[in-house]
Structure 1
Amino acid sequence: MNAVRNWLLPVTLAVAQVAYWPRDLTPQPSQYPALLGILIITVALGWRRRRPLIALAGAAAGLTLGVLTAPEDAVVLMEITDMIALYSVAAREPRRTWLAALGALAVWQLVCGAFEYGFGSEYVAESGMTLLCYVLIAGCGVARKQWLAGREQAAEALRRAESARQEAGDGERRRLSTELHDVSAHHLTSIVVTMNAARRLARPELVDDSLRLAADTGRAAQAELRRLLTDSALPAETPLAERLNELADAFTRLGQRVRVEGAGSVGVLPPAVAELAHALVREALTNTVRYAPGADVGVRLSLSTTDADAGQLRVVVENGPGTGAPADAGRLGSGRGLAGLRRRTQLLGGTWSAGPADGGRWQVEATMLTTARGSSRWRHGFIDLGVVALMLGLPVGAALLPDPSPPLDLRSWLLLAVVVPVHAVPLLYRRRAPWVAWAAVFVTVALWPTWLLGDWLPPSERMQYVAMFGACADVVAVYAVGAHARRKWPSLLVVPASSVALGTTFAVGTAVYGWQDSGGWLFLPLLVGLFAACWLVPVAVVWAVGFAVRIRRDRIVGREDGAVGAAVAAAEAEARAERARLVAGLRDQVLQQTDRVVTAAEQGDPDQVLAAARAALAAMRDLLTALDPPASAPALAASA
């Protein structure tokens, strides 16, 4: 099947080209290179899917032989093969590659055009229109690549959703384990660390501060645990910069010297990214309390763009050596936090690392994607600019083509310099506001009879070509309404409206160019109706093509979204059922001990605070082991 797809087009073109070769021209020995060029092009295009760059080079070489050695217009069917190969390059190669190919093809076209046309107005017109076609074809290839990438991403999303549905129970247990570790365990660990430090130093003022901190931290842990129990949503999202500053203040009170840089410059992030960044900083700061108390700690955030045009957040937490004795590391951590962060960053398409840095420092670094890969905004803009440039160049090129009629005078050129941009530039908005773009385009269509009647445009065959090529913008505008209008079936109204506008223009043009007798103008309404009827079918076909593309696109996207939504809904239902079963253990094992911490702190009993915090950490250890058994890890927080 792939072989048929690869070779059907080039073989069909080759057969058609041989059949098109003028019958009265028997190939001469000097023309044999043209036949060789046809063979080279056919073979090259057969490789366009597997080796698009080779196909493009072969098509250019074959066309060079054909155009320079064949009789005039004898290989006209092969003159589109370079565009076919360019489309394949843009659809299958990275951006830098197809841009380089586009530039090389443009240079080749300019050189070949100089040999074929010389350096007159025909060279400018032909080469200019061909280059504009190259840009448009490349944009179409990139759009095709984006569409296929979107379908691949949708298929991957469906696979992930199905996998999530099948593993919803296990996933909910892991998520609950992560939340317990990321939030509650850090609160309880900080209570143990500060109370131990206060008792070791035997300073009454530090004991009082530790009791107040234990009460506040215990209440925060209570709130988080109750949120997990009730499965309530997270509170209204606080900006990440504010959350990180609060975190820095909290750990500064624990003796660390924390500074945060760049948090205010990252702007609004997706909730999952902001939550992961906060969790990473909190985990890293907690580890500095354990292993480097009193250390200088720097937190840096920055945004960048990857090679795949995706936004990327980089988070770095770096600390120097501590000034105090480290806590018993073997008894305060289980390794779940670091493993969980690594897993979560990978799910967001990022990386995670931790290790020693220069100067005896320790560094934790993570990156995570903030936007989807392969953003299509620049691709759509590239295609839109290509379309508008082509619509600008076609009528200008038609005006420059050799013609027996007199060249345009200065007044006509000035009018075209105004009319052509006004006619084409609205197409930049054909995706966002197709009706507005159509109306703006057809306003100039409606004004064309006025310019003809006012003798602003001379009646000549050249102007007929200008009008014909200028009508390409009308075709694009009608297509855009069918493909992008917000309401589907009302877009059908564009067919009669466009037909009447085009019919009027062509009727007036016919009258100006062909009727010398003023009495013929009495038949103008009849002629308008006749031309409108003639335009009705072509306009309807253009609208139908755009509408069919829209229906197919909506159907595919709707089917993908529906499948993903159904799988996600099933996964959520299973996760809720699993959570309901698990929270009972959380209530009995951890929350009661956390309540004891707050009560003892309010009563001013440091021994009871420490005992209750250790008991809560032990209960947390047991619950985490039940939720997510570690491969090899010491107890989470069995206090010494």
Structure 2
Amino acid sequence: MGVVSWTLLVGAMILYGIAVRRTAGAAAVAAGVIVVAVAGEAAMAGGSLRSVGGLALLSGGLVAITWAFGRSRRRSRVRRDARVAYRAARSAAWSAAADAERLRLAAEVHDTAAHRLTSIAVSAASALHLTDRRLQEDALSHAGQEGRLAAAELAVVENAVSDLATIDGLIGSWPELSLTYRRTVDHVSPQVAAAAYRVVREALTNAARYASGAQVWVGVRHDSGSLTVVIRDSGGEARHDDLGSGLGLTGLVTTVASCGGTFTAGPDGSGWTVCARFPVRAEVPSVRAEWWRGPRAWDAALVGLAFALSMGAALLPGGSTMVSTEQLTVLVPMFMMHAIPLWWRTRSPLWSLAAMVSVHPIAWAVWVAGWSSIPAGDLFLWGFWVELAQVYAFGVCRDRVGGLLAVLLVAAAGGLALAMGPGISGDRAAVWAVLALSVAVLAVPAWAMGAMVARMRARRREADGAAGDLYRQGLSAVARAERERIAAGLRRTASRHAEAVVVAAEEGRLSTVLDEARAGLGAVRGLLEELRRPLGADDPPPTLAGLAVLAARRMVAVHQIGDPRGLVPELEVGVFRVAQECSGRTVTVSFRHDGVLVGGATSRDARRRLHVLADAYGGALTVGTGGTVRVWLPR
């Protein structure tokens, strides 16, 4: 037995280290090896089959709880490190918020003013060079139309799109095209409204450029649970073959995908059709969590320990709890009835406790009937820690009434089991009252400890929530201030030159049109260079603000489902690190009340790293088709 004890002790120490530093699967394999080693040593020492089984059960229970301790330490370590990284990155997050807004505005300005001023400059320069009066009149007309559109679009960039009514203004100000427009949708989120506006604007720009004189139909409607935006033209003559960058439609794919939608564009008969579909309500996907990696592993380990200690002690020879094989057939179901409810100790604490304490009157009846040699009081004392663990769970659940009932129920059942045991003489009712009070005195601290832990957790959540709200408000203020600063710059430069182009075109001064267009284009190019120059470090901070910068730099769509408010710092860092490993064009982040689900395409090496990351958080990684993964990070 001495060698077996040392094997178990050393094995438990090794297992704890493995559980802290390696994945749950590796630790589980190590746990199995230790149990087999203990049982094997006992068998080689000449132990009976019964004693070997008892030692295997006892070592299995102790190994399970050691494994759970190690897993808990692994989760707490990675979350502590994530919180440290989050605090270190908070100062950089302010710059990241500004960078994200700058990159967003850079894309908007590039797609609007830059293209239109370039078109005006090319058209005006060509007309002045050829000195053709008709060509110059066309260039003046073109400059007036494009200048008005550039000024209007810059105003939208400055103020940001918040509803679908902005599309109405865009349609109303659009020149030349023969337009048929219908909108049957009133309310969508600001993000979807902005994306729909960009789709319509880009499609109309392309229709004017490549299908001059075409009939154009624009529709914004509900269609099978989604918002559908369709722009279709009848085809026409290309006016400016050399002005397209090829980036507009590509950028729309990312913009629409960031709202969870789909985008298509292609020939339709003699014309061209652009279609974007946005989900009206994004459903938060369900999660199949691997419980044995997360906090619920504690519950499973406690179930295993409770059964193993009771059953193992009953199997080992020489002790007072030694029972016959026939009696084991009665005791095994009772041991299981007492242990298994621990699995629901926090989810259904009252039912769990009721199932536990119901074992004691059964144990007394079995002892009275002679089917067991172990008195109910002895069984209660041996497994009393199980009831204490359940009472502690009432405290963790912050259930005061339930906690009081739990203490009374455990005291009544435990006191009765002890009072009805052998060796008790005199007034058993009085003995029961004294023993019940003694059990209650031991149970109350268990509940109080659970309540104290719950209060500490609640205070930390409240502090994190308050700090997070202030932090997010600060990030929004930074982004808003940056947008206002850039808007002021646009009004002083690009907008002023665009308006000057319109005035010059109306007055027939083509050379002034060219000068103003070139000046405006120079101002826009200078602004774009500034906006694309990061204010913060080259590597974005591991926060949601940093994720927006990462996505903009990689031209990746980040589709967020649910509300990120209240997200704890360690999960914010985890979301960023998962998204950083994704290599596809879209990353989906689903915020749930119990955690975050991040999905995207990854490489094989990245999947291995994400498996380790998810395991350290107590989550799971699911591999789908085409190299896509879903990483679950629980709270």
TM-score, normalised relative to structure 1: 0.53
Q: Which of residues 448, 460, 469 is equivalent to 2:373?
A: 460
Alignment of 1:530-549 (within 5 A): 530-549=434-453
Deviation at 1:530, TM superposition (A): 1.2
Aligned-partner residue type, residue 460 of structure 1: S
The answer as to whether partners of 1:423 and 1:441 remain within 8 angstroms in 2 is no
Task: Report the counterpart of residue 118 of structure 1 in structure 2.
Answer: 47
What CA distance in whole angstroms lies between the structure 2 residues aligned with 1:238 and 1:198?
A: 34
What CA distance in whole angstroms lies between the structure 1 residues aligned with 2:193 and 2:398?
A: 35
1:105-129 deviation per Cα after TM superposition (whole angstroms, max 9, x unaligned): 2332332232246352222232123
Alignment of 1:390-469 (within 5 A): 390-402=305-317, 403-409=321-327, 412=330, 416-417=332-333, 420-431=335-346, 433=347, 436-446=348-358, 448-449=360-361, 452-453=364-365, 458-461=371-374, 466-469=379-382
1:148 and 1:123, CA in 2 relative to 1: closer, same or farther beyond 3 A? same
Deviation at 1:409, TM superposition (A): 4.6
Aligned-partner residue type, residue 90 of structure 1: A
Q: Which of residues 58, 61, 67 is equivalent to 2:3?
A: 67
Secondary structure of 2:160's match? helix
Alignment of 1:382 with 2:297, yes or no, is yes
What CA distance in whole angstroms lies between the structure 2 residues aligned with 1:516 and 1:294?
A: 89
1:385 and 1:614, CA in 2 relative to 1: closer, same or farther beyond 3 A? farther
Alignment of 1:238 with 2:192, yes or no, is yes
Alignment of 1:177 with 2:102, yes or no, is yes
What CA distance in whole angstroms lies between the structure 1 residues aligned with 2:251 and 2:100?
A: 28
Deviation at 1:67, TM superposition (A): 0.7
The answer as to whether partners of 1:154 and 1:560 remain within 8 angstroms in 2 is no
The answer as to whether partners of 2:18 and 2:27 remain within 8 angstroms in 1 is yes
Secondary structure of 2:77's match? helix
Q: Which of residues 492, 501, 504 is equivalent to 2:412?
A: 504
Task: Report the counterpart of residue 104 of structure 1 in structure 2.
Answer: 33
Aligned-partner residue type, residue 354 of structure 2: F
1:629 and 1:568, CA in 2 relative to 1: closer, same or farther beyond 3 A? same
Alignment of 1:619 with 2:523, yes or no, is yes
Aligned-partner residue type, residue 393 of structure 2: A
Deviation at 1:537, TM superposition (A): 2.8
1:337-387 deviation per Cα after TM superposition (whole angstroms, max 9, x unaligned): xxxxxxxxxxxxxxxxxxxxxxxxxxxxxxxxx9xxx99993223333222
Aligned-partner residue type, residue 3 of structure 2: V
What CA distance in whole angstroms lies between the structure 2 residues aligned with 1:429 and 1:563?
A: 33
Task: Report the counterpart of residue 590 of structure 1 in structure 2.
Answer: 494
What CA distance in whole angstroms lies between the structure 2 residues aligned with 1:552 and 1:430?
A: 20
1:306-338 deviation per Cα after TM superposition (whole angstroms, max 9, x unaligned): xxxxxxx9xxx9xxxxxxxxxxxxxxxxxxxxx
Aligned-partner residue type, residue 160 of structure 2: R
Deviation at 1:615, TM superposition (A): 5.2
Alignment of 1:52-201 (within 5 A): 67=3, 79-95=8-24, 97-116=26-45, 118=47, 120-164=49-93, 172=98, 174-191=99-116
Alignment of 1:212-291 (within 5 A): 219=152, 221-227=154-160, 235-238=189-192
What CA distance in whole angstroms lies between the structure 2 residues aligned with 1:395 and 1:600?
A: 94
1:401 and 1:292, CA in 2 relative to 1: closer, same or farther beyond 3 A? same
What CA distance in whole angstroms lies between the structure 2 residues aligned with 1:479 and 1:565?
A: 32
What CA distance in whole angstroms lies between the structure 1 residues aligned with 2:369 and 2:149?
A: 83
Secondary structure of 2:301's match? helix
1:486 and 1:212, CA in 2 relative to 1: closer, same or farther beyond 3 A? farther
Deviation at 1:421, TM superposition (A): 4.7
Alignment of 1:478 with 2:407, yes or no, is no
Secondary structure of 2:295's match? helix
What CA distance in whole angstroms lies between the structure 2 residues aligned with 1:478 and 1:186?
A: 63
Deviation at 1:486, TM superposition (A): 4.0
Deviation at 1:407, TM superposition (A): 3.8
1:396 and 1:125, CA in 2 relative to 1: closer, same or farther beyond 3 A? same
1:515 and 1:101, CA in 2 relative to 1: closer, same or farther beyond 3 A? closer
Deviation at 1:195, TM superposition (A): 7.5
Secondary structure of 1:514's match? coil
1:461-504 deviation per Cα after TM superposition (whole angstroms, max 9, x unaligned): 2766554444333222122222x3146xx37x62x534433333
What CA distance in whole angstroms lies between the structure 2 residues aligned with 1:393 and 1:244?
A: 64
Percent identity reads 19
Task: Report the counterpart of residue 309 of structure 1 in structure 2.
Answer: none
The answer as to whether partners of 1:479 and 1:545 remain within 8 angstroms in 2 is yes
Task: Report the counterpart of residue 579 of structure 2 in structure 1.
Answer: none
1:122 and 1:197, CA in 2 relative to 1: closer, same or farther beyond 3 A? farther
Task: Report the counterpart of residue 308 of structure 1 in structure 2.
Answer: none
What CA distance in whole angstroms lies between the structure 2 residues aligned with 1:404 and 1:425?
A: 23
Secondary structure of 2:91's match? helix
Task: Report the counterpart of residue 30 of structure 1 in structure 2.
Answer: none
1:574 and 1:176, CA in 2 relative to 1: closer, same or farther beyond 3 A? closer
1:469 and 1:581, CA in 2 relative to 1: closer, same or farther beyond 3 A? same
TM-score, normalised relative to structure 2: 0.53
Aligned-partner residue type, residue 88 of structure 1: G
1:478-535 deviation per Cα after TM superposition (whole angstroms, max 9, x unaligned): 22222x3146xx37x62x5344333333444345542799xx6xx3432222122211
1:560 and 1:294, CA in 2 relative to 1: closer, same or farther beyond 3 A? closer
What CA distance in whole angstroms lies between the structure 1 residues aligned with 2:340 and 2:142?
A: 69
More helix by share: 1
Task: Report the counterpart of residue 238 of structure 2 in structure 1.
Answer: none
The answer as to whether partners of 2:147 and 2:499 remain within 8 angstroms in 1 is no
1:411 and 1:159, CA in 2 relative to 1: closer, same or farther beyond 3 A? closer
More strand by share: 2
The answer as to whether partners of 1:121 and 1:401 remain within 8 angstroms in 2 is yes
1:129-165 deviation per Cα after TM superposition (whole angstroms, max 9, x unaligned): 3123212211221211211222222222222223446
The answer as to whether partners of 1:132 and 1:390 remain within 8 angstroms in 2 is yes
Q: How many aligned positions are there?
A: 445
1:531 and 1:464, CA in 2 relative to 1: closer, same or farther beyond 3 A? closer
What CA distance in whole angstroms lies between the structure 1 residues aligned with 2:18 and 2:206?
A: 56
What CA distance in whole angstroms lies between the structure 2 residues aligned with 1:388 and 1:562?
A: 37
What CA distance in whole angstroms lies between the structure 1 residues aligned with 2:518 and 2:494?
A: 11
What CA distance in whole angstroms lies between the structure 2 residues aligned with 1:601 and 1:462?
A: 104
Deviation at 1:568, TM superposition (A): 5.9
What CA distance in whole angstroms lies between the structure 1 residues aligned with 2:529 and 2:521?
A: 12
Task: Report the counterpart of residue 539 of structure 2 in structure 1.
Answer: none
Aligned-partner residue type, residue 106 of structure 1: V
What CA distance in whole angstroms lies between the structure 2 residues aligned with 1:214 and 1:132?
A: 78
- Runs of 5+ unmatched residues, structure 2: 127-133, 167-187, 212-241, 264-284, 536-635
Deviation at 1:595, TM superposition (A): 6.1
Deviation at 1:181, TM superposition (A): 0.9
What CA distance in whole angstroms lies between the structure 2 residues aligned with 1:426 and 1:243?
A: 56
1:164 and 1:500, CA in 2 relative to 1: closer, same or farther beyond 3 A? closer
Secondary structure of 1:160's match? helix
